[in-house]
Amino acid sequence: QQNKQAWPYPELVAHRGGGTLAPENTVAGFREGIRYGYRAAECDVKLSADKVCFLLHDDTVDRTSNGQGAAQGKTMAELSQLDAGGWKGGAFAGEALPTLANVAAYCLAQDMLLNIEIKPCPGRFEETGRLVAQEAARLWAGAAVPPLLSSFEIEALRAAQAAEPALPRAFLCEEIPADWRAILAELDCVALHCDHKTLTEPLARGIKAAGYQLLCYTVNDPADARRLLAWGVDSLCTDRLDLLPARG
């Protein structure tokens, strides 16, 4: 059924760079992933006021930096001044809020696979999907494995598909919608990413039988991890790199 080249999902993917062991969505997080032997990480990417792709989960910088206010109102020069590590402890003070280019350089140098979650600021779905896809294609041009693009926002995935059809895509959802087959087909996705709490074994088996890869987030309990892998789930996105050891 799938005509697109599948993305080589490892069994474990570090959530937001290095999970909860380091400040999320920073290079320090990715370093933690490497330290634990992880081969892949997920991160959240959005656009600054001057349309630079950068890493941040929330709409505002308040929770994960020493700044305040809406992220999309700030230029990359302003965002670069923020301390994105101090909130997580003194050892991380001064950690930069990275651009997608910063993280691409790190991942390519370390042979780390990246799942870029397109996380648009309110009202910027199409623009963010398009520009993140174009920037990802430019940064990973010639790389052995392209980054995987995922999003909760269908409009952002549609824009990414139109701009860079060759980059692999995954539809991200909390609860799997009844029309998942139609969504995955329309967006020509290689995979579905869902909240592990809402997945059932029949659904997991159905998605696998339809030829898609399946990732669950955010799996932090080793017993849940074993159960999901036994259901045929390909990959687990986790905050607890210390509890879920990478193999091989």
Shortest distance in whole angstroms from residue 142 CB to ligand G3P: 26
Per the annotation, the verdict on 57 as an active-site residue is yes
Which one, 15 or 88, has the nearer CB to ligand G3P? 15
Selected binder of ligand G3P within 117, 153, 164, 234 (CB under 6 A)? 117
- By C-beta, is 11 or 78 nearer to ligand G3P? 11
- How many CA atoms, within 13 angstroms, populate the side-chain half-sphere of residue 117? 26
The interface partner of residue 169, options being ligand G3P, Mg ion, none and the CB cut-off 5 to 8 Å by kind, is none
Segment 53-112, which members bind ligand G3P (CB under 6 A)?
Answer: 57
Q: Which of 139, 194, 237, 241 binds ligand G3P (CB under 6 A)?
A: 237
- Burial class (CB within 10 angstroms; exposed 0-12, middle 13-18, buried 19+) of 98: buried
**What string of DSSP letters covers the chain?**
---SPPP---SEEETTTTGGGS-TTSHHHHHHHHHTT--EEEEEEEE-TT--EEE-SSSBSTTTSS--SBGGGS-HHHHHTS-SSGGG-GGGTT----BHHHHHHHHHHHT-EEEEEE-PPTT-HHHHHHHHHHHHHHHTTT-SSPPEEEES-HHHHHHHHHH-TTS-EEEEESSPPTTHHHHHHHTT-SEEEEEGGG--HHHHHHHHHTT-EEEEE----HHHHHHHHHTT--EEEES-TTTS----
44 binds Mg ion (CB under 5 A): yes
Q: How many residues bind ligand G3P (CB under 6 A)?
A: 10
Candidate list 57, 181, 208, 227, residue with the active-site label: 57
Q: Which of 42, 135, 164, 234 binds ligand G3P (CB under 6 A)?
A: 42
Out of 9, 125, 217, 231, the only residue in the binding site for ligand G3P (CB under 6 A) is 217
> Which listed residue (32, 44, 135, 153) binds ligand G3P by CB under 6 A?
44
Residues 173-192 contacting ligand G3P, CB under 6 A: none
Q: Which of 9, 10, 14, 15 is catalytic?
A: 15
Give yes or no for residue 153 binding ligand G3P (CB under 6 A): no
User: Which chain residues interact with ligand G3P by CB under 6 A?
Assistant: 15, 42, 44, 57, 117, 150, 172, 193, 217, 237
User: Which chain residues interact with Mg ion by CB under 5 A?
Assistant: 44, 117
Q: State the catalytic residues.
A: 15, 57
